[in-house]
Amino acid sequence: MPIRGRLFWIFLLGALAAFAYAALRAGGVSVDQLTRPDFSSSLVKIGTALAGAALLLGIFRERASNAVLGALAWLALALALLAGYTYRIELRDSGDRVMAELIPGWTASQGRMVRVARGGNGDFAVNAQINGARISMVLDSGASAVVLTQDAAKAAGLPLAFLDYSIKVDTANGRARAAPVTLDRLAVGGITERSVPALIAEPGQLKSSLLGMSFLDRLESWEVRGDRLMMRGAR
């Protein structure tokens, strides 16, 4: 018998068994509680129902087979979607870890731990969020504070018109002048810090925003292992 036919008859027998059980349970009693006349009457009713169902299935067997197989396919799809939704967090974390291995700069989070792969130029490009805006930054432990370019500061909604560029900073990219500000929220993956001291570099002074020590010092730990930056957020 073809596999398609076997699936159809397995599903049919299961449905008929369930129907028979439901019929016997309809009165709220089990089979061993039925008297002989009651049991005979139940068998007659079940037999009549099964005969009618068999007649209909005999007439519309091909259509019924297609309908059952279609229902099984939709059921399998529904179960797959339900499983994906139930384990969405685990699947997302696993996907992030795989992407972090393949794509430099991809931020993979697992709880308070964040991993970033080193880029081809040797730097760690970090995708951060500042006041809700997505900002690309470069790890720079030589910078005493987080330093933003003009474009990054504008994207983060910081007031550029009233800044005082009175602070000289030394970074891996050279010396620059910057204005002090406070970031309401700075997030990297699953790590979020609030009221973070930062600097905004003068226009044209900085090519990339820097993730400096005013953020790193707040972490429970951070280290570089080979080509991976590992950051653990504070409790």
Kindly report, residue by residue over 194-223, the tens digit of the pLDDT: 999 999 998 888 889 999 999 999 999 999
Mean pLDDT of 152-170: 89
114 and 187 in a single domain? The answer is yes
148 and 70 in a single domain? The answer is no
The pLDDT value recorded for residue 111 is 80
The pLDDT value recorded for residue 137 is 93
Could you say which DSSP state residue 116 is in? E
Least confident piece of the model among 2-16, 119-133, 194-208: 2-16
Between CA 227 and CA 214 the distance in angstroms is 23
64 and 108 in a single domain? The answer is no
CATH number at residue 131: 2.40.70.10
Residue 154, classed as helix, strand or coil, is helix
Domain that holds residue 34: 3-86
Residue pair 131/115 in contact (Cβ under 8 Å)? The answer is: no
Residue pair 108/92 in contact (Cβ under 8 Å)? The answer is: no
Kindly report, residue by residue over 24-40, the tens digit of the pLDDT: 554 444 444 445 455 55
106 and 221 in a single domain? The answer is yes
Q: In degrees rounded to 5, what are phi and psi of residue 47?
A: -60, -40
100 and 188 in a single domain? The answer is yes
Residue 110 in tokens: 């697992």
Residue 34 in tokens: 């039925």
Residue pair 30/42 in contact (Cβ under 8 Å)? The answer is: no
109 and 15 in a single domain? The answer is no
Tokens 């059980």 correspond to 21
120 and 37 in a single domain? The answer is no
Residue 190 in tokens: 């699953």
103 and 210 in a single domain? The answer is yes
Overall number of domains in the chain: 2
158 pLDDT tier (thresholds 50, 70, 90): very high
Q: Among residues 54, 71, 86, which one ends one of the domains?
A: 86
Triad 22, 24, 25: Cα angle to 5°: 65
Helices (H), 60-122: 61-86, 88-102
213 and 124 in a single domain? The answer is yes
59 and 105 in a single domain? The answer is no
- Residue 190's Cβ-side half-sphere holds a number of Cα atoms within 13 Å equal to 18
